[in-house]
Amino acid sequence: MKQVVDAVLAAVKPGVPSMELERVAREATEKVEATASYVDYPSGRKKERYPNVLCVSINREIAHCPPKPEKILKAGDVVAIDFGLEYKGAFMDTAYTVGVGAVDRSAQNLIDGTREALMAGVEVAQAGGHVGDISAAVEAVARKRKLGIVKDLMGHGVGRDVHEPPNIPNLGRAGEGEPLTEGMVLALEPIFAEKSGAMIDDMSDPFGYLTRDGSRAAHFEHTILVTKDGAEVLTA
């Protein structure tokens, strides 16, 4: 999966159409002989079939936003790229957020804080723990960075399907929630915003969400394997 991530992120530059990122992702996925798991996945508000390999969410777009010909990357944009692959029957999800060229201080805090929250969740994921341990670790970073948590979207189980139980909220209390057991495969995905994190439907398409207050959002995700000694990151 890293080969696909590297190819897509290398293409993020001012003036690049979001559909060019889609083209790069499709080509890179074919090279590693994997299948893009989002294509034709029942999603959206009426379970429409998702048409693309990637989700490309820019600035106030929170998640699940498809690339479109009219979406062109501009200097200073905050761009979240989310996608999943299936390889030999195993599914994995990942997401990265990057700035297009130089970004302002607030955007950098958003990107750095969301990445930090993902790694904080990874660090506490261990057999014998609970889902709430991950949630609390992610929430603590949001509070420290003074970022809003997008509460309605969360991590999930993954492995034999794109989405499996359990859900993994991005806020909660350590020691609570479903027990973490050895062999679990989970997709951890903190999604933060500069302000409140409250979201609304993007009425321009049936899939995406926007921040209610217009602030920018960021999204990071890794698929991990839970072991008795901690978490093994499968998508790094």
Q: How far is CA 72 from CA 58, 111, 162, 166, 181, in A?
A: 9, 20, 28, 36, 43
Between the CA atoms of 63, 58, 210 and 197, what dihedral angle is there, to the nearest 10 degrees? Answer: 80
CA atoms of 10 and 38, how far apart (whole Å): 21
CA atoms of 44 and 40, how far apart (whole Å): 11
Number of H helices, E strands in the chain: 4, 17
Tell me the per-residue pLDDT of 82-116, one tens digit each, with 9 for 90 and over: 999 999 999 999 999 999 999 999 999 999 999 99
Stated pTM of the model: 0.96
For residue 117, which of 150, 163, 85, 91 has the smallest C-alpha distance?
150
Tell me the per-residue pLDDT of 176-199, one tens digit each, with 9 for 90 and over: 999 999 999 999 999 999 999 999
Parts of the chain with a pLDDT under 70:
none
Ordered by start, the domain boundaries in the chain are: 2-233
CATH number of 2-233: 3.90.230.10
